[in-house]
Structure 1
């Protein structure tokens, strides 16, 4: 059995220029679950089970809503899952727009080729709304009743294009307002906010990074009793007993990269993010540094680093383990040695061969 179609691509933030590695799933092309799923990548045609005209004929299909009348049968602009959209580190709310080239291929089928992935200001750039089709599940809110949802889709599809675009804008606005409210509430999560230089080019801007130090479920927090969530900024001090740093133990989901750690502090190297500096060095990890004294630790700052191999984590003391750690195993088998643990993290955290 196959799965949903996926797509992937890269695009810069339209405001700050940071590169984003984008990807997700889409049901727009009606994946056939008895066949292998399609992976839409730039320039690679993927087969369809129907002609391209069929994609643009109906005003709505499944949970997809037609936003405008297609300008050409060969080009499709698609705005995928609104729930998956997020703001850039610079604060810009980002909307992904996928551009496909559609071509007939014989009498009964055709192909779709992803030719461009664009990132636009979701609330201020008209190109975020100037699309042929969009995810209708947020444009028409789900009320727990399929018949009512489909009726809402039909009614919206029958409205003028400017009304449909306005409803799409309202859905995008509501989505990013919800994200901002969650960010301000923190709900037990820990963020670090600091001027973060890119270690490749030196470009420095203030960024905010979500850590795994705490979570709303309260399980295995890295800083333990001295910190329950919020925002760490350079100079923020967390009091408590950090004697465990001198022991060969992991902490929460963070795996120890070396032992012993320096007596005056420690460094945490985060997993690879789907974003990188505008210099184009590659997808980066946030490197967080803490100073230590007898009564606690102090967050001193952070930077961005592209991890390509073992040498790039040589100064790190901890990194988040995707399968947990000795302190929080999550049911996964643990590496027998630290060397194996580092090699596993290189494969999973930073996708190094």
Structure 2
């Protein structure tokens, strides 16, 4: 990256249940206003905008932004499944790094419906239709489950079968998420649950998953202002959080051949993106003290520990049981509560992660603060597929 890229301001609204939120126009505009207020600048200084959402009509991005201002700037709408928010961030960072703009807005929002994720189109092939035989081959003994649960549950089961991982490891992840979320005023679920509570919850897949191990559909919005160093200095913005490295990957052949559910749900994408980021920044996973990763299911959090190099392959259960994924351990993972407790409004998730890590590096995360954090890692995954890994540094 030729230009130093900074996070000049961040904004996020509290996440809420479907049916209980404002409209996406109000949520998006609110998040933008909060980011502008955090940066201390007006909307007229924003030169470009990238707006992410999954469920919405064309130009919803403009519709939300017009509530803030109508300045004629380029607005690009982004849809990359669950990695939509970080894809908008990726594009905003590129624009600044390449010198095309000095102040770029990345916004993500989602006004979701209750229930499992589903396609709203039934007259055309679904995404990944070509690779559905992999899922059928490896999870054909289970029918009637939503696709996401079947995919990530199948990946978790594969880890259990391959490495002897116990279901309690996934339950411990969910319990940890609840403890973290209890200190996050913007999280949806703040009630603390124990490992036993999670194990005793409604069974979704016998021996593999209970209901609490899956993140809920939620509504929300988050935004970030990505700026050049010269812009920040000119307008007296904060300069303490820098994007040091970033990578986006899509599926290689190995995601589907040889058949593996761990690979199918993004294992190869995550490993490749993390490797690129570490190489760009000249650091290793041992240097990371705080991380926000894509825990759409507790199973994926466990798998992602290994993909990001937080622990060796096959040793994630030990990593969890030793407390290395929380305060006092090696990497404080999802101090926000993650998707499991904070919620997962698809288009907003990646930028909500940016919000959390920016506050961690600023030292403004209150009770969630990870002491001495100088590097912060973000992992955001969307099946279909795309994975974005971002490394922030204290400037």
State if a TM-score over 0.5 links the two structures: no
Between Structure 1 and Structure 2, which shows a larger proportion of helix residues? 2
Normalising by the residue count of structure 1, what TM-score does the alignment of the two structures yield?
A: 0.30
Larger radius of gyration: 1
Relative CO higher for 1 or 2, CA cutoff 8 Å, sep ≥ 6?
2
Between Structure 1 and Structure 2, which shows a larger proportion of strand residues? 1
Normalising by the residue count of structure 2, what TM-score does the alignment of the two structures yield?
A: 0.28
